[in-house]
Amino acid sequence: MSMRELVVLGTASQAPTRQRNHNGYVLRWDDEVILFDPGEGSQRQLLHTTVTASDLTRICVTHFHGDHCLGLPGTIQRLSLDRVPHPVAVHFPAGGAEYFARLRHATSFYETAELRVEPIEADGQRIALSCGTLEARRLRHPIETYGYRLVEPDGHRMLPEKLAAYGIAGPAVGELIRVGHLDLDGRRVTRDEVSEPRHGQRFAFVMDTGLCDGVYALAEHADLLVIESTFLESEAALAAEVGHLTAAQAARVATESGVRRLVLTHFSQRYPDSRRFHDEAREYFDGDLIIAEDLTTVQLPPRRVASAG
C-alpha cells in the first residue's frame, strides 16, 4: 500500500519550549502531502524530516492564531525558492483571508509557485481529492476555526487467488472493478465473488477547540486522530474558558468515537512532564495512545478488518 503517515514537526501551543517547536504536522497520504498548521519554525523543522517543501501538495490551516500559521511566510516563500513544479492548494477559514494575504506577502520575494487558494466558507465544506474527501468542520474557539478530516471511501480488495482461479488478468480486472461483473464463456463472474470489502481509512485533525459537535463529527471512526490537549483536567475550567481541550476530554472523545490511534499534542508550556498527559488520557482511552514529540513519525494503523457481509 502507498505510504500513509503523520510527520510531527512541532507540538507546542502558544510559545515554543526548548523541547517543543510551535505546532506543525505533515500528513503523507498516497499522492497527497498535506501540511497542517505550520507554526513558527516549520520550514526548518522540515529539514530534520524526510519531507521537503517541494513534496507538499496542500496546506490546511485551522485558524489564524500565531502558533498555527506563523510558519506560512517561510514555507510559502520556500515553495517558490525551490521552484515547486506543481500547484499547492491552501485551505483556511474564509474569515481570516486578510491574515492569509498578509502572511503570504509578509516580505518581498520572487513568487513562482502556484498557490490554489480555496478558503473554507462553511461548516461541512468538502473538497474532493483523488484519494478521498477532505472535509472541514467548524470548531469552538474565540476566532473562526475549522478542523479537517480525510475520508477514504469503502472499496473492494481483489483476491488474486480467486482472480487466478477464473483466469481473470490484465485489463479484465479493471473492467470487473468498474462494471461490477464480467462475462466469461457464458458465465457471469461478479466483483463480490473475487473480492472482499475494504474499509476506507480516516484521518482527523482537531485543533484549538472546546468540546462541540464538530469535534465528534471529525473524530468519528478515525483510524488516526490528531487532537489538541492543551491542558490537563486540573485546568478544565480555564480550558473551557479559552476554547481548548484537556487530555481527559480528548481521550473520552476518542473512546466515544471509536478512534483507533490517538495522538495528543499542542501542549501548554506550563506542564514540563508530558507523561501526565499520557496518564490522564489512559484512564479514558485504551487504544493506541501517542503523546506527540517533535520530529517523530506516526503510521496510520493497518486497515480495519472488514466484517463479513
Q: Which residues are catalytic?
A: 67
Using the rule CB under 5 A, give the single segment among 36-44, 59-67, 171-179, 257-265 that binds Zn ion: 59-67
Using the rule CB under 5 A, give the single segment among 64-72, 218-226, 250-258, 262-270 that binds Zn ion: 64-72
Residue 308, judged by CB atoms within 10 A of its CB (0-12, 13-18, 19+), counts as: exposed
Residue with the CB atom nearest Zn ion in the bound state = 65
Enumerate residues 6+ apart whose C-beta is below 8 A from 131: 29, 30, 31, 32, 150, 152
Residue 244 in the binding site for Zn ion (CB under 5 A): no
Q: Which is nearer to Zn ion, 39 or 74 (CB)?
A: 39
The residue from 20, 28, 58, 65 that contacts Zn ion (CB under 5 A) is 65
Residue 174, judged by CB atoms within 10 A of its CB (0-12, 13-18, 19+), counts as: exposed
Name the minimum Å distance from CB 256 to Zn ion. 24
Residue 223 in the binding site for Zn ion (CB under 5 A): no
Q: Which is nearer to Zn ion, 65 or 78 (CB)?
A: 65
| CA-to-CA dists, residue 28 to 71, 157, 237, 239, angstroms | 19, 22, 36, 31
Q: What is the DSSP string of 53-88?
A: GGG--EEE-S--SGGGTTTHHHHHHHHHHTT--S-E
Residue 20 in the binding site for Zn ion (CB under 5 A): no
Residue 208 in the binding site for Zn ion (CB under 5 A): yes
User: For cell 524530516, what's the residue?
Assistant: 49
Using the rule CB under 5 A, give the single segment among 61-69, 148-156, 168-176, 267-275 that binds Zn ion: 61-69
Footprint of Zn ion (CB under 5 A):
65, 208
